[in-house]
Structures are given as C-alpha cells and as structure tokens.
C-alpha cells in the first residue's frame, strides 16, 4: 500500500523536493445559477517536510482546499499531485495523507488506544505492530496514562492530542490540520502550538495547517499562503509575508498596519523612491512583478513597530492618544492630511513617559520599513 511509504526521499536532488503540487486547481460547488466558485485557479508547491500554513478569513476556501488534498472532494478542474503522483479519482483511503479534523471526530465508541490504532488496523498491520505503534504514539503525545478511556472522558486539549496521534500513527507523508487549535483556550493553545511544532520536527512529516489566526500562522509556519475569496494572494515565509505584503488585504490581515498614499519619484529594480505626505522622499521596496510608473500615486505600508517618534522625522503628525500595553505602548496619531497612523513603542525603560494628546510629533520610519502595495 502506498499509504505507508516512509517519509523523506533519497537526497539525490538539489532543492527540497515537492510533496504536494497544485496547478490551476478550481472547485465549483453546485451548478447553473447557484454555482459557487470556492477555489479559483490555485497554484501551490508544498515542500517535503515543511510546516505549511493556509491562512485566510472565514469562508475563503481553506477547508475546501484541504478536503481536495485529502480526497473528500474532487476538483472541478486542475492538477493535484502528491509525491509526484496525480491523485485525481483516488478516495481518501488511498492517499498517503491523514487529517486532523477541526472538531477532532474521534470515534466515540472506541477507546483512545483503539482510535489511534484504527488506521494501522485498516492497513492490515499485525496485532503486535498496531499495539506497539499505538503505545509509541500515546507516549509521543503524552497520553499513555489514559489509553483505555473513551473520547468523552477526556478534555478538549487531550482529545486534540489523541486526534493528532491517530492521524500520525499510520505515518502519512502529509498531515492535514484544519484549525486544530481553534476550540482550545488561549493558554492551552499556546502549549499546543509548541507541541505541534515539536511533533512536526520529530516526525519530519509535511504539515499542511489551516488557520485564520495570523499570529499562529506567523509563529509556527515555514511558509504561509494567504488565501482570500478562493485565491492565493501571496505565498512566502512568515518574514516575507509580514514585512513585504504585496497586497492591501495581506497587509491588513496580518498584523496592525498603516496605509499611506505616496508618489513614486523614481524606481529601479525592486526599489523605488517615494514621496511621503509632507514631502520627504524615502526608499521603498516594490512587490514582485510590480509595474511602477513615475508620478503614480501608490499606497505604501508601514508597520507600527517600524516607526518611532523623533525630533526630525519623515512624517508630521498630531498625537491622539496613547494606550499602554505593558511591554509596549501603542500611540495613535493623525497625519497632517488626517490619515490615521499607529505607532508601537517598546517600553524599554520605566521612565519613558507617553506623549500627551494634542501634542505635535515627528515620525521616523526605520530603514527598509516602507513597502509599496500592488493596487
């Protein structure tokens, strides 16, 4: 059976091998006038052994994409390959992929151990192998003391661990996780984030993780695909996605952001000189494949923590209020053209007093802190 082929292929090729290849993938639900395009021409390469996150707002098509990979739904058009093999038409039981369901879907009539052993049993493994792997998995998720309980007798966080163990037990090539942490409270969630990352590194299995929580995506992922309205807007490392958002939606969805109108004065390669409100000209980076024109007004992004209050700055503003958050203070300002601007100052010393409302302030933007958006 293909399902249990070991993970990690011989390291013959140069770059990391592609585990899941998605080309022009579309999914339409229903037909006629009620047809709805849930996924629109998706292109994705998910690499072997990486922690890949699908990030997007509710209803953007994340679950649909995951279900296509798992085999619960068939694509309307396009190509889907897992480990170099087209999987069109194969059911979920014939793909080397396992899913951790959003609400875990642990079998209520089986003990935790039976839940974990189910996949192996279905693959026809011997009793002793099922038993030993189940034990191993229970240890891996630190649940070996409760092997004989039923799912209804354990907490949400524990169910989560069992769901993970159940999906990992058959050693799939790819693990799909659909918002596995969304039902947990904040503290447990943080713990499980660490745990998930540990499991992924320990097993070396490719994780495809779905979330609508941008912080979760940033902290856990090797790479992120930001999805909206059934389309992949941007794909890249958390660093790239956060610091170089290519579209307004991406910038807005991930972190707090300031959007400012600026005029392109000059450009070369990936960089441009832009004139900020107030006349100061600064260097800004351009998104990939951006068609810049001199004199064009564009929107630029400045992250709140890339700006600071100084004597002589790039932008002139008036302080509206300051909100103290303990580790840092958020200062809300308004530029001369009334554009709101938020700035985050880290509270490195106790004595730093927040600026007073109504006070005039100059904002300096850190080197490389300005990014032009695709309009």
Partner 1 sequence: MDDMAGNKTEQATEIKETPKRHLWNWILCAPALTVLVFAASGPLLIVLVYSFLAPGSFGGITWSFSLEGWFRVFFSRDIFDPEIVSLNTAHLTIFWRSISLSLQTTIICAILGFPTAWFIATRPQHTRNIWLFLITIPFWTNLLIRTFAIQEVIRNQGLINTTLIRFGFIDTPIQMMYTDFAIFLGMAYVFLPLMVLPLYAAMDKLDIRYLEAGYDLYASRWQVLRHIILPLVKPGFIAGSILVFIPSIGAYVTPRLLGGGRSMMLGNLIELQFGQGRNWPLGSALALTMLVLVVGALVLYIRTVNREEEPRHG
Ligand X SMILES: Nc1ncnc2c1ncn2[C@@H]1O[C@H](COP(=O)(O)OP(=O)(O)OP(=O)(O)O)[C@@H](O)[C@H]1O
Is residue 48 part of the contact set for Mg ion (CB under 5 A)? no
Query: Treating both helix axes as pointing N-terminal to C-terminal, what angle do 156-168 and 112-122 enclose, rounded to 10 degrees?
Result: 20
Whether the Cβ atoms of residue 48 and residue 16 lie closer than 8 Å to each other: yes
Question: Tokens at residue 44, please?
Answer: 């994705």
Whether the Cβ atoms of residue 362 and residue 310 lie closer than 8 Å to each other: yes
Return the residues of window 30-49 that contact ligand X according to CB under 6 A: 30, 36, 38
Residue from 48, 63, 133, 134 in contact with Mg ion (CB under 5 A): 63
**Closest to ligand X by CB, 63 or 200:** 63
Q: 10 Å Cβ neighbour count for 31? A: 9
- In angstroms, the first-to-last Cα distance of the chain is 49
Pick from 108, 106, 72: which is nearest to 87 by CA?
72
Alpha-carbon 138 to chain mean position = 28
Is residue 25 part of the contact set for ligand X (CB under 6 A)? no
**Closest to ligand X by CB, 46 or 60:** 60
Is residue 133 part of the contact set for Mg ion (CB under 5 A)? no
Which residue carries 């790819």 as its tokens? 174
**Closest to partner 1 by CB, 119 or 277:** 119
Distance CA 280, CA 78 (A): 48
When CB distances are held under 5 to 8 angstroms depending on the partner's kind, the choice from partner 1, Mg ion, ligand X, none that residue 218 binds is: none
Site track for ligand X across 200-239, x = CB under 6 A: ------------x---------------------------
Tally DSSP H helices, then E strands, for the chain. 8, 20
**Closest to Mg ion by CB, 63 or 159:** 63
Is residue 68 part of the contact set for ligand X (CB under 6 A)? no
Contact stretch for ligand X (CB under 6 A) within 58-66, 132-140, 217-225, 245-253: 58-66
Residues that bind ligand X (CB under 6 A): 29-30, 36, 38, 56, 58-64, 212
Residues engaged in binding Mg ion (CB under 5 A): 63
């Amino acid at each position: 059976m293909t399902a249990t082929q070991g993970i990690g292929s011989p390291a013959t090729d140069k770059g990391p091998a592609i585990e899941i290849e998605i080309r022009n993938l579309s999914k339409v639900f229903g037909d006629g006038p009620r047809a709805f395009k849930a996924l629109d021409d998706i292109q994705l390469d998910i690499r072997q052994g990486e922690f890949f996150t699908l990030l997007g707002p509710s209803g953007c098509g994340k679950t649909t994409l995951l279900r296509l990979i798992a085999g619960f739904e068939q694509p309307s058009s396009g190509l889907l390959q897992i480990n170099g093999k087209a999987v069109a038409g194969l059911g979920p039981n014939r793909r080397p992929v396992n899913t951790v369901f959003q609400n875990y879907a642990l079998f209520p009539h089986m003990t935790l151990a039976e839940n974990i052993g189910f996949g192996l049993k279905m693959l026809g493994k011997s009793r002793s192998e099922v038993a030993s792997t189940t034990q191993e998995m229970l240890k891996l998720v630190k649940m070996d003391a409760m092997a004989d309980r039923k799912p209804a007798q354990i907490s949400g966080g524990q169910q989560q661990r069992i769901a993970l163990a159940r999906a990992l037990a058959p050693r799939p090539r790819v693990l799909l996780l659909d918002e596995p942490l969304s039902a947990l409270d904040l503290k447990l969630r943080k713990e499980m984030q660490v745990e998930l990352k540990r499991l992924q590194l320990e097993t070396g299995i490719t994780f495809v993780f779905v979330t609508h929580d941008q912080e979760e995506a940033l902290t856990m992922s090797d790479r992120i695909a930001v999805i909206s309205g059934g389309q992949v807007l941007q794909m890249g490392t958390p660093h790239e996605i956060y610091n170089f958002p290519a579209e307004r939606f991406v910038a807005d969805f991930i972190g707090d952001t300031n959007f400012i109108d600026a005029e392109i004065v000059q450009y070369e390669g990936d960089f441009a000189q832009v004139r900020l409100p107030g006349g100061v000209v600064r260097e800004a980076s351009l998104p990939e494949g951006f068609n810049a024109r001199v004199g064009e007004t564009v929107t630029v992004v400045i992250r709140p923590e890339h700006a600071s209050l100084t004597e002589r700055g790039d932008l002139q503003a008036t302080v509206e209020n300051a909100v103290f958050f303990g580790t840092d203070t958020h200062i809300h300002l308004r530029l001369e053209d009334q554009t709101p601007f938020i700035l985050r100052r880290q509270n490195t010393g106790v004595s730093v007093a927040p600026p007073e409302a109504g006070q005039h302030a100059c904002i300096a933007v850190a080197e490389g802190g300005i990014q032009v958006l695709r309009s």
